[in-house]
Amino acid sequence: MGDFVAPSPQEGNSGAGHSPNPRKNAAQRPSKDRGKKRGKAAKTAPAAAKSSSNRNDAAGQSGNAGQSSRNSGKRSFASSSGGRHGKNRSVRGKQSGWLGKTAFAALDLGTNNCRLLIARPGHTGFTVVDAFSRVVRLGEGLASTGKMSEEAMDRAVEALGICAEKLKKRNVILARSVATEACRQAMNGTQFIERVREETGIMLDIISPKEEARLAVMGCHVLLEEGDGPALIFDIGGGSTELALVSTDGVVPEILDWVSVPWGVVSLTESTGFEEGDEEARLAAYAEMRGKVMDSFAEFAGRLPDGGDKRLLGTSGTVTTLASVYLGLQSYDRSAVDGLHISVDDMRRISGEIASRDAEGRAEFPTIGMERADLVVSGCAILESIFDIWPGERIGVADRGIREGILRALIASNAKGRRSPANKTNGGRRG
């Protein structure tokens, strides 16, 4: 029996993800498209797209990623369970006043990025009211030293200080802040967590790889295409990659199997290096990267079932970046990328093109730039290895994941607490 994608006990009881952005439902789809999203039409990739000068900072994965983000305006996420299964309207109506005044936050400190979302709940989901994303490269040098460097920790603390100010400004009543692979692996991870608490007031929770995979699935599974058999959802991070085999037979997705491997865009780049000489040397280094990843996937790949539609959904900077390259965007546009479905052949072609170029050539892609030129190759190697073990025809792209999963859990937990008998006897007030 697998694990259902629902909040852990301390977080409430709701496994619903987000439904796609309503503005995207008008996208055309092929007449014989097997891949309809759950309850929505799948967005299919056009041959080209208009560039956008409006960067949605919740993504944090373009050439501007090294800079602190600005509030990109409100964006709404609807609940797939609230919309499709009709929760009690009278209960929602009674809570509407409280919902409009409450803010929740999710912070994800990864090996490469620091990301924050602040949202207010609504009747069927939530609306993001503030966001922040910055490349901090917390895991830089970790593979060779076993420790996070002082420079890397300074960058992370600076970014977390900005997050702390946003939490105060938005009057957040409930937040969860998580740290992943870099803090799990570093010998000085505990000391860093304490420093963050002392200097910013933020209490980071170092989560397990399994929890990381569960939150990622919870945050993005609604973007899966419909089809037969289980689907594979993956998250290529900075220090690790999580893969989850998911059944969508029920209302709440069930994780049938999962794996976390210690290869992310930072760890794989640092452990392998990437030869910037001639093209032949670069492709040889790329093949070495793929070989390492395939070795780490071997046991999990042996457990994967045959048959089915081999549905794929990726939530990571790698897939969103490659999607923006596919679309020919001049600057990152979340509304064009999130929910996109692209053929695996096209993604392989783009990965091969990127791997064959030197750093300057990779930086010519506007949504890669010099900021990501050194790490994107390892992301492509991981992505192609995933295609090798799960040979689907198309891949879904999700610019959502852990933070959205956290927000859903926090909102569900708090709403459940307010509806509990103890709170009803106190008129819904705490204390």
160: tokens are: 């977390």
The reported pLDDT for the residue numbered 9 is 33
The reported pLDDT for the residue numbered 317 is 92
The reported pLDDT for the residue numbered 30 is 37
CATH T-level fold of 56-210+402-422: Nucleotidyltransferase; domain 5 (3.30.420)
235: tokens are: 């998250």
The reported pLDDT for the residue numbered 278 is 85
- Cα–Cα distances (Å) from 330 to 64, 132, 294, 321, 351, in that order, read 12, 21, 33, 12, 18
> Distance between CA 154 and CA 192 in Å, rounded?
10
Domain boundaries, the chain: 56-210+402-422, 223-397
The reported pLDDT for the residue numbered 122 is 81
> Distance between CA 41 and CA 28 in Å, rounded?
8
- List CB contacts of 91: < 8 A, sequence separation 6 or more: 419
Which DSSP state fits 225?
B
Which DSSP state fits 68?
P
> Candidates 3.30.420.150, 3.40.50.2000, 1.10.220.10, 3.40.50.970; correct CATH number of 223-397?
3.30.420.150
The reported pLDDT for the residue numbered 89 is 39
- Cα–Cα distances (Å) from 25 to 76, 248, 288, 396, 419, in that order, read 14, 21, 41, 15, 34
Q: Mind listing the pLDDT tens digit for each residue in 199-226? A: 999 999 999 999 999 999 999 999 999 9
Alpha helices in 226-356 (DSSP H): 265-272, 279-303, 317-327, 334-337, 344-356
The two domains 56-210+402-422 and 223-397 share their CATH topology (first three levels equal): yes
The reported pLDDT for the residue numbered 326 is 98
Q: What 3-state class would DSSP assign to 198?
A: helix
The reported pLDDT for the residue numbered 145 is 94
- List CB contacts of 2: < 8 A, sequence separation 6 or more: 247, 254, 255, 256, 257
Helix axes 265-272, 376-389, angle to 10 degrees: 100
> Distance between CA 99 and CA 94 in Å, rounded?
10
Chunk the chain into consecutive blocks of 10 residues (it has 431) and report each block's average pLDDT, rounded to whole numbers.
50 33 36 40 42 35 34 46 37 47 92 96 86 95 94 98 96 95 96 98 97 96 94 97 95 93 95 78 93 98 96 96 98 96 98 95 96 94 98 97 94 72 43 34
Q: What 3-state class would DSSP assign to 406?
A: helix
> Distance between CA 407 and CA 106 in Å, rounded?
6
> Distance between CA 170 and CA 93 in Å, rounded?
24
- List CB contacts of 168: < 8 A, sequence separation 6 or more: none
293: tokens are: 């990843």
Q: Which of 309, 387, 306 is nearest to 346 (CA)?
A: 387
